[in-house]
Amino acid sequence: EVQLVESGGGLVQPGGSLRLSCAASGFTFSTYTMGWVRQAPGKGLEWVSDINSSGERTYYADSVKGRFAISRDNSKSTLYLQMNSLRAEDTAAYYCAKAKSSGSSYDYWGQGTLVTVSS
């Protein structure tokens, strides 16, 4: 059974940093593109970032480019999202998601971790 378990969310002040983790199991992590999607309270889904299976190619939404960094450790089956220079508008539930294949839709999602940016 595929499982994606996010961690690392919490309350952070504007300008601060957080690192989210997503522990994956139930599939061969190293062969799949992975991504992060966020959802602000009461709002729609917003794609944040993707990383290919090897970690060599990364993609970002304009809203986080230069502030967030996606990475993965295939030896640990873990996906990361380093978030710097956080803003109030980054407040959201952050979901880790597995792509069906490279450059594809997301067939499995984690339960999400909540990030709140507030003073």
Partner 1 sequence: DMQMTQSPSSLSASVGDRVTITCRASLVISNYLAWYQQKPGKVPKLLIYSASTLQSGVPSRFRGSGSGTDFTLTISSLQPEDVATYYCQNYNDAPLTFGGGTKVEIK
Closer residue to partner 1 (CB): 19 or 100:
100
End-to-end Cα separation, the chain, in angstroms? 40
Residues that bind partner 1 (CB under 8 A): 35, 37, 44-47, 50, 59-62, 95, 100, 103-107, 109-112
* Shortest distance in whole angstroms from residue 13 CB to partner 1: 28
Contact (Cβ atoms closer than 8 angstroms) between residue 86 and residue 20: no
* Shortest distance in whole angstroms from residue 42 CB to partner 1: 11
Which region, left, alpha or beta, applies to residue 112 given φ > 0 means left and ψ of -120 to 50 means alpha? left
Closer residue to partner 1 (CB): 16 or 45:
45
* Shortest distance in whole angstroms from residue 70 CB to partner 1: 12
Closer residue to partner 1 (CB): 12 or 99:
99
> Which is nearest to 22 in space by CA: 60, 61, 74?
74
Q: CA 40 to CA 54: how far, in whole Å?
A: 29
